[in-house]
Amino acid sequence: MVHNQQNRQFEPDSRNQFHEKRIISLSTDGDHEMPDAFERRRQVRRTFQGRVSCDKSDRGYENYTNLLRDGYKIRIFLNDVEQAHCLIADPDEGWIMRHQIAGGKPVLVRGVARTEIVKGNVSIRLERQFRAD
């Protein structure tokens, strides 16, 4: 027999049964299922805070390559409108550099695409494309 601090006696079997009943009642109580203790949930950030750039000479290039290598698709939003042809995005400073577009095509000056800097509320949203190992 097992004694607790208040000198109550419990049979080892009855104590284990009580414990098992308690676990069963917790798992079936209510409309939700009790989460598995061994389930590994990962925290996925939906937005990225920091500069991102596809220009190798820019300080945001390392963030850009790390996110791509980790399997994320990078989506740039300016004032909640998704931006295409974006080269650099800095949500901390609130600006993006993108190709200037006319008629759905980049504007070329002497064979080089013209860029523009646009200020506003910048957010970088991430979508998991694949799981990097």
Top-confidence residue, 110 or 131: 110
pLDDT reading at 105 higher than 70: yes
27 falls in which pLDDT band (50, 70, 90)? very low
Top-confidence residue, 124 or 27: 124
Q: Do the Cβ atoms of 124 and 52 come closer than 8 Å? A: yes
pLDDT of residue 33: 55
Q: Span 18-41, mean pLDDT?
A: 48
Specify which of 9-13, 21-25, 32-36, 72-76 reaches the highest per-range mean pLDDT: 72-76
The closest of 61, 105, 97, 55 to 76, measured between CA atoms, is 97
Domain spans, the chain: 47-128
